[in-house]
Structures are given as C-alpha cells and as structure tokens.
Structure 1
Amino acid sequence: MAIVAVVDVTAGPSVGFLPLVALGPAFAGLVGGWRRTALIGGLSLVLCLGLGLYDGLFAHRRGYTALASVAGVTAAGLLAAVMRQRREAELASVRSIAEVAQRVLLRPVPRSAGHLRVVVSYTSAVAEARIGGDLYEVVASPGGVRVIVGDVQGKGLEAVETAALVLGAFREAAYDERDLRSVGARLERVADRELQGEKFVTAVLAEVRDDQSVILINYGHPAPVIVRPNGGVRFAEPPQYALPLGLGIHGTTGSEPYQADFRPGDQLLLYTDGVTEARDGKGCFYPLGDRAVLLKHPDPETALETLRMDLVRHVEGPLHDDAAMLLLRYHER
C-alpha cells in the first residue's frame, strides 16, 4: 500500500495505480484474522480517498470506481478471513482428537522389561500428522517379554482402527497364551475374522526368553536386525515368511516360529518399512545394515535418536512413509 501510494504520487494519476491499494486488504485476508483485515481495509479506503482527492479523481468516475474496488476487495478479504479461521479451528480440533487417539492406541512402552531396555522412535511422514498405521507394543508376560511391531495397509482413521484391533488382540493374547505360536494364531484368527476387503497388516512378533534367545514370527514384515557388541550386524530372516495378518483366508501353510541367539550386550531392532524404503535424492534406499552400527552409544535412547537423525539426513526432507523403530537392548540385571 505504501509503495502504491508513493508511485501514484510520483507518476501522477494518469498511470492508474490507485486501485492497487486494494492489495493490502487482499493479502491481509489471506494471512491475518478478520480484525486485522478490517483494519487494513479501513486504512486502504482512507488512503484511496486521500489519493483520489489529491489527484482530483473524484471529479470523474475513476475516483469512485477505485474506491468501490477497494471496498469490494476489503469485503471479500473479510469473508475469506472468517472462513479460513473457521476451517483452521475445525482442523485443530480434528488434529487434537487424532493425537489423543494415537496416544491411546500407542501407549508408552516400558523403559525396561526383565533384562531389556526398551526404546521407541516414531517419525511421521507428514510433519503435521500425528496419526498413522504403524503399531508397536511391549508386554512382560509369564512366558517372557513379548513384542509386536507392525504396519497396517493404508493410512488415516481406517488404518488406526485396524491397528487398534491388532494391538488389542495382541495385548490380551500376550498375557494369556502359553507360547508365541499361540499368540500368533490368535492374531491370525482375529485378523481373518475382522479385517474386511483387502486390508492386511504386516507384523513381526518377538519373545525374549531367559535362556538368552529370542523367538520370532514374521508375517511378511521386514526382518529384525540383531547388533552384536563387537559391531556385527545380522538380519534375523525367517526360514519362511507367513502371509500378512488378514490374508489367511487365501490359504497358507501357517506361521512358523524361528529362534536366534540374543545375549547380554546384544541389541534387537524391529522397524517398519518406512525405514528401509526411505530414499535419498538419487533414489537409493536407506542402508540400515550399514548404519545399524550407529546404535553403539551407551545410552539406548541416544543411540536410537542418532539412527533416526541419520535416516532423516539420508532422505534430505520429509519421509514418504511413517517410520517406527523399537530397540531392545539386552543387559544384565
């Protein structure tokens, strides 16, 4: 508005810059509230009136046309500001509800369970989003510490509903069932019965026992990583992957548990495909096998945060998919 006024006074009325004073309330309606827009609109009307009198435009139709233009743009800016504020309030309410739902769904995991230190990291693909389809849980049961990390097909509230179904079944089964195979069998029954259409969940179940071993069942999920104290890294691949949860009706040989050594000083990293499928600017996937050595820090929370920051640097921007990581560090009591 100041620039338009200076140009109008300098160049004279013949240039016809006076209606551009309406840019003030137009931009105010895009970025400010209705009060600020009304204030800027009032100033623009006063400025238009003053410049019109200075240029002698009210002796002709041009002055009244410019004044009407500024008044019209101000009214439109006020309407836009009011509508935008209402939409922002509705969006803030929805985000608040989604955040509460996510906190209820993904409860804080215990910092320690038996011989284990437990740390979780969750990075959303969208900075504003606090809700997604990745799931995790840690349960200290009579049979050992039982863990699930999974990824629901799809996004949004439907994915959250599916995640809640799987997590609810796991939390109950982890306490009740005598072994991990029975836990997995119950999850399969619940998923096959409740999931509709083409919905499915990839997941990996783990049970850490006192005999320094871990039992795993993999339902089409990325294989966990075991990091040894000497820096050695091993992907705990299953002999045979089971179908993702919810696809059992299509026929499968069933899930088969498999065992891996897990001794004091070892670390077990479970994660979702948002980690290994994260690409850099050249389209290269994140090399988790090479970067898992970053988990060497004595504090497990710092170690996992170091790995997460390295993942973000690799992508050089926002992630294309949610990335959840759960780290189990075996230590002597």
Structure 2
Amino acid sequence: MTRRVLTVVGARPQFVKAAAVSRAIRETDGLTEVMVHTGQHFDADMSDIFFDELDIPAPAHRLEIHGGGHGEMTGRMLGAIEPVLIAEKPDWVIVYGDTNSTLAGALAAAKLHIPIAHVEAGLRSFNRRMPEEVNRVLTDHISSLHLCPTRAAIDSLAREGIRDGVHHVGDVMYDATLFATGRAEKASNILDQLKVEHKKYGVATVHRPDNTDSPERLRFVIDYLRKQAATQPIVFPLHPRTRQTAERLGIAFDGLTMTGPVGYLDMAKLLHGASAVFTDSGGLQKEAYFHRVPCVTMRDETEWTETVDHGWNRLWKGPDFVVRRDIDEYGDGRAAFRIAELLKR
C-alpha cells in the first residue's frame, strides 16, 4: 500500500529541510508526496531559488499567504490548508521547525484527525516571548511522530510528558549541507562577486523579531556587527524585514559588506569559506558547525545548546567559547531516510 504524505512548508529554512526529506521520499518505495507552500516567504530570492537549487518538486498547492500579524497569518493559513487536506486525503502531514506555517499545518491536520510528523521536534529555547517557541511547543503536543535531531530534544519532550512516537533521527540540515556543499563549490562564485578571500571574512544574518522589531535592539545589533567589521569584512545578506525596518528608522550599514538574500548554494559557499558567523538564526548556528566555523549567536538563548557545550557557538553576551569538540548526535547524513522509513512503517 502506498502512503500519501502531505508536506507543509512556507519559510526558507523549511525548504532546505524539506529538500532532503523529499529526496528520501522519492527514493523510498511505498511513499508519495504532495507539497503545500503557504507563501510565508514569497520573495523569489527567499523562496523560488531554493526549489530550483535544491531539486525540490514544484509545490502542488501555493497558498500565497504572507504579511499581517502572527495571529492573522496563522489563521489565514489554517483556513486555506484545511480544504487542501480534505481534497488530498493524506495519510501523514509533515511539518518542519517552528514557523506560523508549521503551527497552521499541524492544527489543520489535528482537527481533521490526520497524524502529524514534526521534523525538529523537541527543541526548546525556554523563552515564551519568541513566537517560534510557542509554535514548536504547541505543534509537539498535537503530533504523533516526533522526529528529533538531538537527545536533548528527546529529554525536553519527556519533561513535558511526550514519550510515544519519539525518535532520534539526526539532523536533516546535515543531510542538506552534505548535498549542497559539493554543488556550491562548483556552481557559486559569490566570493569573487563580493571580493572577499577564503577564511578572511565573517558572515552575519539578522531576522528574528526580537532583534528587528525594537529600534534600540536593532541599532545595538548593527553597531555590534560594525565593530566586528573593524577586524575583517562582514558579509551581511539582508533579510527583507530587517531592510524595511532599518530604512524606516534611518539605520545605516556603513562598514558592512551588504547583499540581498542569497540562495542556498551561495550561502553554503559563504559559510564554507568564512572565518566566523554572527547570527540570530537557529539553523545557521548548526550550519556553521557543519562547516566547522565558530558562531556567535546574537540572542540571549539558543535551542542548539550542544553547539555551545561543544565550543562551536556562544551567546554574544555570554561566556567565551569553551574547548571545541565534535558533536556526534547530528547523525551521519541519513536523517531524511530514517524519517521516510518511519513514515512508511
């Protein structure tokens, strides 16, 4: 019997994770996939380029929902996803990470009694002010299959009473990094375009509402990056929300090497050649480790505590790096195939 899997994605990090799992689904007998793109990230540089570069099948459904507050966006997505689920009749709904698309997809499935598989289940920052934290906690509590990247994630679920359907599969971002790095070395000329030299520049990204919604906080972040740029160039791919806020507040980016959003292959090339990463992104903290580049997280907490414990990451206002060690729990690059086998079983 063929099992029908419906995947809900909407934001840039989800495209990367879904690319790895989609490839595994296509190579697993007995599974077929339908993809739904909510439209949360709708800019071509934040969306379409990822489908092209990472060999992701074109979404069967594009909902084109973006903008508005968190509640409004999530509600519109919920209303649009429900009729798709009724029409497609999937055996599983897969959701990724912690965005509004994640929660909307999970809620729509739960109300129709369709089992949910949550990729990156169990992550916790323990900061309920973050919309992402609320999304991931609620999604975990209505999911049937919890696909955890780390043992710490399993422990977090157990503390909340979630023990059934919990699996340590490894990190699909590692799968994606292995796939993309070889392609990026051949296809990307981003270093030449930006006139930066291998291991002689840093990479920065800023997009979290905690950093972009407060004028004082955003000014502090940009000042911090300018100080880092005093010792080496800092390449700063600018998220559309960060750009809009900075323009409204009159915040300049003097001294930083600015660029628009970059594709996944260009980012893989940038990360591989960087000497340091400065970010508020969850995914980029891990990707920095995959490329063995030290990372400074411009937040007051992180979901990926093992990157700090193993010396590859630190919080910008916290202690310095500890002695570096390899992290063994992200897996061997086969997390996506473990997920496909679990869905099949």
Larger-gyration structure (1/2): 1
TM-score, normalised to structure 1, is 0.26
Is the strand fraction higher in 1 or 2? 1
TM-score, normalised to structure 2, is 0.26
